[in-house]
Structures are given as C-alpha cells and as structure tokens.
Amino acid sequence: MKTIILASTIGLTLSVGIAQAQEKTLTISVYAFAQDEFKELVYTPFEQKCGCKLVVETGNSVERLAKMEANKANPVVDLAIVSMADALAAARGGLIEKIDPAKVPNIDKLYDIAKDPNGDGMSVGVNLYATSIVYRTDKMKIDSWGDLLKSDIAEHIAFPNVTTNQGPPALYMLGKAIGKDTPDLAGAIDALGAKKDDIVTFYVKSSQLVQLMQQEEIWAAPIGRFSWAPFTKLDLPLAWATPKEGQTGGMNVLVVPKGTKNEDLALQFMNFWLSTDIQKALADRLVDSPTNKEVKVSEAVANNITYGEETVKSLKLIPSAAALDNRDKWLSEWNAKVGQ
C-alpha cells in the first residue's frame, strides 16, 4: 500500500511539474522581418536560458494592434515590438502596461533616446534606423534636405510616397530645411507638389531604388539606413548624405500588453533582448541597429547600420503624438498636392 501511495505521489508531482513547464510559455508579437536570424540569435538562446517556450506571432502593425485591441480583456500576447507611434496609440487605448525599469536593468545601457521614447514609461527602444539621402557624388552634392528641391537635382531623384515608412520622416526634414516644419507637413508637401512633374518617381518600395540607380534613372533618394547595404555593392560613386539639418529615422520599441499573466517573464525577455551580447549579435549580422550604447562593432558593420553616439544624437525623429494626430492630414494633403 505504501508503495502504491508513494508511486501515486511521485506521479502526481511529475504531472504538476510537467503542467507548470507547459504553462511557462511566452507569446511575442513581432514583424515578419528576418525571423530565421531572430530565432537563431534571440529566441532559441532565451528559451535555453529560461527553460520556457517562445510562441512567435508575426504580422504588420495594423494587424497586430487590432489583435491586441480585440483581446484587451484577455490578452493573448505577452510582449510586442511596434513603432514609437503605435506604442503611443496602444498607450492611449489602454492596451499596455508601464514598464518597471528595476526589472529591466539593461535599460541603463541604452542611448537616452531609447530609454523612454514617448516619455510615458510604457515603451523601450529596441532598434533604430537613420533616414538620409543616398546620392551620386559625381553628379551632385547634397548638403541640405532642401537641395532635393533644386531644379537640377529634383529631375534626378526618387522621393518616398507619404504612405511609406520613409515618406513622413523625409517630408519632416524637408520642412525643417525650408523653414516650414509644422506637424501637418503641409509646407513640405506643398513645396514637393510644386516639383512633382520634375521628380522621377514617388517610390513605394525601397527595393526598386537600387535598380533605378544602377540604370542611372535616378541619382539620389531618401532611404532608411537598413536599405543602404545593396547600394554599396554597386560600381558607382555613392555617398550617404549628412545634411546640415541632421538625419531623421525611426525606432521600434518593446511594449507589454496590459493584463498579461506573464509580465515578469516578458520583462526578463525584454532585458535579454536589450543586453549587449544580443544587440551586438543582431548588429553583426546586419539584422538590427543597436539601441544599447555599449555595443561595439567593426568598421565594416558600422558602415551598414545606424551606429554610434554621434549618429544617434543627430537623429530628428517625428514626435509620436504628431504622427498619430496628423496621419490623415498628411494623406489628404499629399493627395491634393502630389496626387500619387
């Protein structure tokens, strides 16, 4: 009888242990970009460290935010990576929690711009990118964002459509250059509209720019730094502009959905993702530009990512509130003045 009871007790203990292990699951919501690399460099190492299982859901921002909203009462995601503006939208909608910095000590290692991007304590910057102008040095010189409007330059450029990630930032800096940097971007869009017949194309996909440059249909274009590497492989004299107004760009941030039952584990993973080793691994593979200022990379890597304190300090990011409150205005103004 004692043997039976002992066996039953052991069986029950094992069952409980297995159940608890099965319950230690972290569901994350991410962009579909470079998931093989993320699995190798981030997800699997964390699973091995925490003894837990990561469930990865991918999709664009609109889809993933809509899912968070639909499951607001009973969250199905424990951690999400979104843009700064989307993080503010989630905060306004009561969808995310404040982050306890004491539980994420690696926040102290980040550039100041990434520690609390929206100033509400609800997001932490995990990667960033600069936006500037790639141009042919044998054909033109770019010292200002305003140079894109010069007649002898405008007829050789591709400019990002306002519906793209690069469109609003490029317009934002163009507005600064011409002294019309209101949040509605109206001055910049108006100035661009006056040159619309000169501009080669208003691009939607940055992937098309390399071919246009190679075929010499364009000599310049505003791009994100993550698109720079393919241009360096062209047998052309190309440079990354450092306009006097500075560079712009964007930042992706980590957020924790309100009401998640795995908040502590989510914060552990956040801290892991922000660590120097993990951020360096992602940078070395050209997957992400680090927000951790302790990351050191080779010159070859640095030339292909957004890297270094000086570069980060030069970034003029569109404030999230301005982006959220003016998106509809940007589109209507663009349609009226540019029409593409």
pLDDT in tens, 173-219: 999 999 998 999 999 999 999 999 999 999 988 888 999 999 999 99
168 near 185, Cβ under 8 Å?
yes
pLDDT of residue 5: 46
Distance CA 173, CA 178 (A): 9
d(CA 98, CA 100) in angstroms, rounded, equals 7
Residue pair 59/7 in contact by the 8 Å Cβ criterion: no
Please choose, from the candidates 67, 81, 104, the residue with its C-alpha nearest in 3D space to the C-alpha of residue 32.
81
Classified as helix, coil or strand, 261 is coil
pTM above 0.85, yes or no: no
Burial 284-310 (b: 16+ CB within 10 A, else e): bebbbbbbbbebebeeebeebbbbbee
Q: Are strands 201-203 and 158-160 parallel, antiparallel or unpaired?
A: parallel
**Which pLDDT does position 59 carry in this prediction?**
87
Confidence (pLDDT) at 340: 58
Phi and psi dihedrals of 167, rounded to 5? -60, -60
Digit-by-digit pLDDT tens for the chain (340 residues) are 545 444 444 454 444 444 344 459 999 999 988 899 999 999 999 999 999 999 999 988 788 999 999 999 999 999 999 999 999 999 999 999 999 999 999 999 999 999 999 999 999 999 999 999 999 999 999 999 999 999 999 999 999 999 888 999 999 999 999 999 899 999 999 999 999 999 999 998 888 899 999 999 999 999 998 888 889 889 999 999 999 999 999 999 999 999 999 999 999 999 999 999 999 999 999 999 999 999 999 999 998 899 999 999 989 999 999 999 999 999 999 999 998 5
Domains detected in the chain: 2-127+251-313 (3.40.190.10), 129-249+319-337 (3.40.190.10)
State the CB neighbour count (10 A cutoff) for residue 7.
Answer: 10
